[in-house]
Chains A and B, each alone.
Chain A
Amino acid sequence: MNLLAASDGSLRVTGLDRLSASNCAEFKEMIKPRLTDDCRLVELDCASLRFIDSDGLGTLINIHKRLAQQEGKLRLCQPSPMVRQLLRMLHFDELFELTP
C-alpha cells in the first residue's frame, strides 16, 4: 500500500488490496498521523481493492467523519462493481464521492 501526501495537504492511497477486520486497525494507524488539519481530500484508489467488509467500511466512515469536521471529503476512485454495489446498498454513495 502506498500513501502519497500532496503539498495542498491531500492524501492519495493506492495499492490497497483488501480492507477488513484483520487489517483495518493497521490501516487506520497509518492514515491517522498523515491526516492533518488542512487536509481537504483523501483519495482512495480502489482499482486494486478486491475485498472490503463491514469493519473496512467502518474505517472509511471514521475517515469520512474526521474529514467532514474540516470540510474535507473522501473520494473512492474506480471501485469494482461489487464494491460499488455494496456502497449503494449501505447508502455510502451519499457520503463518499465515487469516480468511475
Chain B
Amino acid sequence: MNLAAASAMRREHRTSLRLEMACELSAVRAATLAVRDWLAEKSLPETELDGWELALAEAATNAVKYADAGARQLPVTIEVLWGEREVEARISDHTAGFEWPEKVDLPDVDAEGGRGLFLIQSLTDEVVYLRHAGQNIMILRRVRSTAAKETLPDVSQLQNRLADTEAALMDMTAELSSSYESLVALFRYSAELGANTNLKEFANRLLKDLMRLSEADCAVLRLLSPDGKKMETLLVLPENGNTFLPTLVLADTVGSVEIKTALNRQDFWFGPEEPLAVEDPLRVIVPAGNGICHAIFVANQLVGTATLGRLMADKVFTAAQVNLLHTFTDFLAIQIVNARLMTERTDAHVTRRELQIAADIQRSLLPSKIPACRPFEVSAVCQSALQVGGDFYDIIPTGDGALLMIIADVMGKGVPAALR
C-alpha cells in the first residue's frame, strides 16, 4: 500500500456516504433528508442544503418514475462525496435511461411537467449522466461556497493533513517492522527446532510472539485428532486458571466457529456484525470483541485451527496482521507434521527392536541342545509365521534311556501367542 492510497482511504471513509433506497416514491423523502442531515453535520450553509435536497429529490424521483416493473425490485443508490472543494452526489438507477439534452430549457411557463432536469442543472455546477445497459449514473457536483477559503489552507488543516500523513507513515513503519520481526522470529525458531523437542512449548512461544506482533489479546490453537474426528485444544493464551476449552467433535457442529473453519477449510471472522454463537466455547475467551479463525493446512491436509481475538470490538485485525497469523501458524503446522512423522519413525524403530527382543526371548525358551538318544537321531526346527511365534518344543531325557518330547502350539500367531 503506498502512502497516497493509505491516506486517501482514510479520508474517503470519513467523507463519503452511501445509501440505498427502495425504488418507490415514498422512499425519496427519507433518503434526501438523510443526505441533508449528513451534509448539515459538515456545516454546509442552509441555502446549499436546500439546493442539494431538491436536486437529489428530482434525480431520485426520476429514477423511480421511469423504472419498469423489473427495475422496481432493485434499489436506487445514492452516494455523496465530501471533496476538498466540492460536494459530489451519484445517483444510480436501473431505468432504461435517457439522452441528456445538449441544452436544458425551461418548458412553457404553464406546462405542468418537464422542469426536473432544469432544476437539477440550475442547482448544481456540473451534471454528468452516464448511460449503461442495466444501470445509469447521474453525477452532480457543486462547489462549496465555504471551500473558496480553503484555496489557502489554514494552519489547523495543514496540521490535520500532516497528522494523516504521519499516521499513514506510522502504519507502514509498523507493518514493515512487524514483517521484519516475523522473519527474524521464524529464523530463530528454525534454529531452535533441533534442540527443542517439546512441541507444545515450541508452539506456546511461537503463539505468544504472534500475539505480541499482531496485537492480539488472546489466541487458541486446536489440532485435529489423528482419526480426524475431533479438534483438541493444544494451547489457550493468555494462560490462566479458567482458560479450559473442551475438545470439539467435528460431527457436532453446534455453533463453533472453529468447527466451521475446519469444515469449510477457510478463514472466518467474528465481531459485532458476525457475533460468535451463544453456544460457541470460544465465548469464554472472547466474550465480546472480534477475531479471526484460520484453518491450518500442510500439503492439503487439515492440521487444525488457530484463532486470534481482541477484546475491543472496534479494533479489527489489519491485513498485515492476518498475514502474520497465516505465516506463523502455517510454519508451526509444518513443524507439527514433521514432529509427527519423526515420532512415527522412532516408534516404528522401537517396535522393531522390541519385537527382536521378544523373538530372542521366545527362542531362548527352546532347547539349544538336543540330548543324544542312540540309536535315534533327533533334530528340531521352529519357523514362526511372524517375527515372534507361539510354538514351543522341548526334549527331556527321563533317565531310564527314554526321551520325553513336548510339542506345544498356542492358537494364534505373533506376540500374543508367544506370551500365553
Within 8 A of B (CB), among A1-46: 18, 20-22
Q: Render A49-67 as a binary contact track against B, CB cut-off 8 A, 1 for contact.
A: 0010111011101101100
Query: What is the CB-to-nearest-CB distance from A46 to chain B, in angstroms, rounded to a whole number?
Result: 14
Contact partner of A54 (CB less than 8 A), chosen from B28, B47, B109, B119, is B119
**Which residues of chain B have C-beta atoms less than 8 A from A57's C-beta?**
115
**Which residues of chain B have C-beta atoms less than 8 A from A61's C-beta?**
110-112
Query: What is the CB-to-nearest-CB distance from B115 to chain A, in angstroms, rounded to a whole number?
Result: 4
Query: What is the CB-to-nearest-CB distance from A69 to chain B, in angstroms, rounded to a whole number?
Result: 12
Q: Are the CB atoms of B47 and A91 closer together than 8 Å?
A: no
Q: Are the CB atoms of B28 and A22 closer together than 8 Å?
A: yes
Alpha-carbon gap, A67 to B61, bound state (A): 28
- B-side binding surface: helix, strand, loop or mixed? helix
Interface centre among B57, B110, B111, B113 (most CB of A within 10 A): B57
Alpha-carbon gap, A80 to B112, bound state (A): 22
Within 8 A of A (CB), among B28-46: 28-29
Q: Are the CB atoms of B113 and A21 closer together than 8 Å?
A: no
Query: What is the CB-to-nearest-CB distance from B253 to chain A, in angstroms, rounded to a whole number?
Result: 48
Q: Are the CB atoms of B25 and A21 closer together than 8 Å?
A: yes
Query: What is the CB-to-nearest-CB distance from B98 to chain A, in angstroms, rounded to a whole number?
Result: 15
Contact partner of B29 (CB less than 8 A), chosen from A18, A58, A89, is A18
Q: Which residue of B lies closest to A56 (CB)?
A: B57
Q: Which residue of A lies closest to B27 (CB)?
A: A22
Q: Are the CB atoms of B110 and A91 closer together than 8 Å?
A: no
**Which residues of chain B have C-beta atoms less than 8 A from A92's C-beta?**
109
**Which residues of chain B have C-beta atoms less than 8 A from A90's C-beta?**
106, 109, 115, 118
Q: Render B52-74 as a binary contact track against A, CB cut-off 8 A, 1 for contact.
A: 01100110010011000000000
- Whether A53 contacts B61 in the complex (CB less than 8 A), given A21-B28, A90-B106, comes out as yes
**Which residues of chain B have C-beta atoms less than 8 A from A95's C-beta?**
109-110
Interface residue? B323 (CB, 8 A)? no
Query: What is the CB-to-nearest-CB distance from A93 to chain B, in angstroms, rounded to a whole number?
Result: 10
Interface residue? B243 (CB, 8 A)? no
**Which residues of chain B have C-beta atoms less than 8 A from A18's C-beta?**
29
Q: Are the CB atoms of A51 and B106 closer together than 8 Å?
A: no
Q: Which residue of B lies closest to A95 (CB)?
A: B109
Which B residues form the contact surface with A (CB < 8 A)?
Answer: 25-26, 28-29, 47, 50, 53-54, 57-58, 61, 64-65, 106, 109-113, 115-116, 118-119, 122
Instruction: Contacts A51-B29, A90-B115 known; list 12 others, CB within 8 Å.
Output: A21-B65, A22-B25, A22-B29, A53-B58, A54-B119, A58-B112, A61-B110, A61-B111, A64-B110, A86-B54, A91-B109, A95-B109
Q: Closest 7 CB pairs between A and B?
A: A58-B112, A22-B25, A54-B115, A21-B61, A82-B50, A54-B116, A61-B112
- Interchain residue pairs with CB less than 8 A apart (12): A18-B29, A20-B28, A21-B25, A21-B28, A21-B65, A51-B57, A53-B58, A53-B119, A58-B115, A82-B50, A91-B106, A94-B109
